[in-house]
Structure 1
Amino acid sequence: MGYVTSLFARKMVAAAGAGVDGDALLRQLGLDPAGPWDPRTMVPATRYYDLLEQIAAQVDATDLPVRVGASMRCDEYGALGLALKAARDLNGALSRVVRYARLWTGVVGYELRPDPRGVLYLLHRPGARRLGLRLSNETTLVATVALAREISAGPVVPLEVRVAHAAPSARGVHEDWFGCPVRFDAGMDALLFDPETMAAPNRLGDEGISRYLVSHLESELSALAEEPPLVAAAREAIAQSLSGGPPRMEEIARGLGLSGRSFHRRLSEHGMSFQALTEATRRDLALGLLGDATHSLAEVAFLTGFSEQSAFTRAFKRWVGTTPASYRRAHPPR
């Protein structure tokens, strides 16, 4: 299920300033504008990308990823941020990001890869390269360097930044902030560091604290290994009811033996809302059904709760960035 921390959404809205109706944008994500900035509260990735695209339609978003990424601090990542600080060097810190990234995002994977000039730190975010995803990737690259500069005892300047998508209208702000060349249309999203930077000691590197924090993170990671039983049961109930149209929360809650209020509260404890869970279930079901050649597009629309195929097409394009027909052609059923 594709979720990202709501912290990024709140920072994006704040950075956009008076040019957008920030409270309205946050409410669209199911967030209380006056609520706490809790990184454990998650929002669906596709709706986060929608938010970024709405902001870009109202203000110049060229430097938005740089400003937001540069504002990130380790303390905002909880135990993971402390573990980054306590790592011996940058290589150790980034290795922990690779290992524990799932604790704050379900849509990005990370990799450290040897390179003739040093080490490549790559981010892998699947999906159509829509504007929201591109802005999110730029923010992630900037945030990584911002955190590295916070924890490292020495200067952190990548040898090179590589971005898979095309360059924005002006790239100077990116190169000025990174302090190195930024290559767009590079076929990957990555930071290239020299060996000396990766091996430079961190300011607060502490082996004893590291062992304690890593043990804590391993426990949290184990808890994510399986979807919570309530969420899995709710997804199944939602999927079974979709052919009758979008389900009502009270009906699903009743089928699970819960009141609507209790069901809402327990979903919130897992960082999600009923609306977000229903949307994710419809998306996942649609992707699965499109992989089955026995179902026509009209049948897939019906089975995912849409009364009209045109409405299904619009929703699917919002989820994946392409139409159901185009997706099926690109991923032929087996």
Structure 2
Amino acid sequence: MQQITSYQGSVYGGLGDLLLRYCQANQLPAPTQLLHVQNLPRFDYQVWYQLLNELDQQHNQPALGLDIAQYVELKHLGVLGYLAQSCEHLGEALLRYHDFYRLIYDGSPLIFNKNQDHLIIGWDVPKVFTTQVTNEIAIAIMYQFLRHFLHIDDVALIQVDFMHPAPKDTMIYQRYFGCPVLFSQPTAQIVLPSQILSKPIRHADQTLQHLLMAQAQTLLEKLPHTTQLDERLQQAILKQLQKQQLNIEVIATQLHTSVRQLQRHLQSQNTTFQARVQAIRQMLAFKYLQDPHLSLQEIALLLGYSEQSAFQRAFKLWTQQTPQQWRKHNVM
């Protein structure tokens, strides 16, 4: 499996241990890349994405993300898990979870919306960068966190939404979450009753919370800074791929900035515009090649290449394999 240098961030190393625990508990062979990331404090978000997809393809387990999440322990969430557990009530815990969520997933912002009746927790990640299993595990870990680590035993979800099409057996999801589950929705999210925010937490400890907040803030400051400009740049590149207008002048105009300012911003992150474009293309190429219905010519066009041969040359530079070879060994 090829590791991608991604603009999308990293994940907490404990999530690698979670996947290994799942494999061991089910007597499944662990992917080679999973063994490589064990004991790392963090690893690339795209490695996480690829590991989940590899497990999904190899084991063909319905609702795999829900099954994996049942093995999550507090240690898999690091300081954030212990910090939330030290809060006095659920509202305070979710506030801490929101503020320090990047310590678990750096690159997939957590969005909270609240009105008089409902609390909505959503994951702000473009659909092209997710799969059903990546969404499953994000939502299921949140659900397990509420029930087992904050001891909110009577969590009654109102609704769960997934972005991807409905699988064959949707009842697995309704039994797991105990509420209606919708598919092909604009956002991956869970909906809870707003009154749940006042639920007390059994292990509240304000002194411990202050210590853990200082630790979490120190860890957060060590992560690379992701700005709104990065998110807008990502969206602009995605929109321009099929138009084959991937030059920095067009993108800078769309972002209402100058080419020089955009280049300076990218240099501060030790990257370039072309490297950012190639990272997105490479990530999407892996996703599109997993769809057996897409021809190489169609994939080349989706990635913004005017000719299939240009896509094939680029792919071989990324992986030392042709797209056909990669598809043969990675798509079941």
The alignment partner of 2:248 has SS state of coil
For residues 76 and 58 of structure 2, what CA distance do their matches in structure 1 show? 28
CA-CA distance at 1:304 after TM superposition: 6.5
**Residue number in structure 2 paired with 1:144:** 142
**Residue number in structure 2 paired with 1:4:** 11
Q: Is the 8 A contact 2:12 2:77 kept in 1?
A: no
Letter in 1 for 2:79: A
Q: 1:96 to 1:19 in 2, by over 3 A?
A: same
Q: 1:207 to 1:62 in 2, by over 3 A?
A: same
Letter in 1 for 2:67: R
Q: Is the 8 A contact 1:127 1:320 kept in 2?
A: no
Q: Is the 8 A contact 1:71 1:143 kept in 2?
A: no
**Residue number in structure 2 paired with 1:267:** none
CA-CA distance at 1:325 after TM superposition: 4.5
For residues 169 and 13 of structure 1, what CA distance do their matches in structure 2 show? 27
Q: Is the 8 A contact 2:158 2:180 kept in 1?
A: yes
CA-CA distance at 1:83 after TM superposition: 0.6
Q: Which runs of 5+ in 2 are unaligned?
A: 1-6, 227-236, 252-272, 290-298, 306-332
Matches within 5 A, 1:48-87: 48-87=48-87
Q: Is the 8 A contact 1:16 1:55 kept in 2?
A: no
CA-CA distance at 1:175 after TM superposition: 1.4
Q: Which moved more, 1:99-108 or 1:12-21?
A: 12-21
For residues 26 and 46 of structure 1, what CA distance do their matches in structure 2 show? 12
**Residue number in structure 2 paired with 1:332:** none
Residues 115-173 of structure 1 show CA distances to partners (whole Å, capped at 9, x for unaligned) of 4531101111235155xx32111101010010111213542121111112212221222
Q: 1:290 to 1:83 in 2, by over 3 A?
A: same
- Would you say 1:124 and 2:91 are equivalent positions? no
Q: Percent identity?
A: 16
Count of residue correspondences? 250
CA-CA distance at 1:196 after TM superposition: 2.4
The alignment partner of 1:125 has SS state of coil
For residues 189 and 13 of structure 1, what CA distance do their matches in structure 2 show? 25
For residues 52 and 319 of structure 1, what CA distance do their matches in structure 2 show? 13
Q: 1:117 to 1:162 in 2, by over 3 A?
A: farther
**Residue number in structure 2 paired with 1:317:** 284
For residues 223 and 116 of structure 1, what CA distance do their matches in structure 2 show? 37
Letter in 2 for 1:147: F
Give the superposed CA RMSD.
Answer: 3.6
Q: Is the 8 A contact 2:52 2:133 kept in 1?
A: yes
| Moved beyond 6 Å, runs of 4+ | 311-314
For residues 156 and 55 of structure 1, what CA distance do their matches in structure 2 show? 29
Q: 1:152 to 1:319 in 2, by over 3 A?
A: same
Matches within 5 A, 1:1-334: 1-2=7-8, 3-12=10-19, 14-16=21-23, 21-27=29-35, 30-31=36-37, 35-36=38-39, 40-42=41-43, 44-115=44-115, 117-126=117-126, 128=128, 133-150=131-148, 151-224=150-223, 290-292=246-248, 315=282, 317-318=284-285, 323=299, 325-328=301-304
For residues 201 and 216 of structure 1, what CA distance do their matches in structure 2 show? 24
Q: 1:158 to 1:65 in 2, by over 3 A?
A: same
For residues 279 and 118 of structure 2, what CA distance do their matches in structure 1 show? 47
Q: Is the 8 A contact 1:5 1:41 kept in 2?
A: yes
CA-CA distance at 1:7 after TM superposition: 3.4
Q: Is the 8 A contact 1:154 1:200 kept in 2?
A: no
CA-CA distance at 1:100 after TM superposition: 0.7
Letter in 1 for 2:165: A
Letter in 2 for 1:221: L
CA-CA distance at 1:313 after TM superposition: 10
Letter in 1 for 2:285: R
Q: 1:177 to 1:51 in 2, by over 3 A?
A: same
For residues 291 and 13 of structure 1, what CA distance do their matches in structure 2 show? 42
Q: Is the 8 A contact 2:14 2:75 kept in 1?
A: no
For residues 281 and 209 of structure 2, what CA distance do their matches in structure 1 show? 47
**Residue number in structure 2 paired with 1:280:** none
For residues 17 and 123 of structure 2, what CA distance do their matches in structure 1 show? 22
CA-CA distance at 1:14 after TM superposition: 4.5
CA-CA distance at 1:23 after TM superposition: 4.7
For residues 280 and 72 of structure 2, what CA distance do their matches in structure 1 show? 37
Q: Is the 8 A contact 2:17 2:76 kept in 1?
A: no
CA-CA distance at 1:63 after TM superposition: 2.6
Q: Is the 8 A contact 2:65 2:133 kept in 1?
A: yes
Residues 49-80 of structure 1 show CA distances to partners (whole Å, capped at 9, x for unaligned) of 22222222222232311111222232332221
CA-CA distance at 1:104 after TM superposition: 2.3
Q: 1:75 to 1:315 in 2, by over 3 A?
A: closer
TM-score by length of 1: 0.63
Q: Which runs of 5+ in 1 are unaligned?
A: 228-282, 296-302, 306-310, 330-334
Letter in 2 for 1:318: A
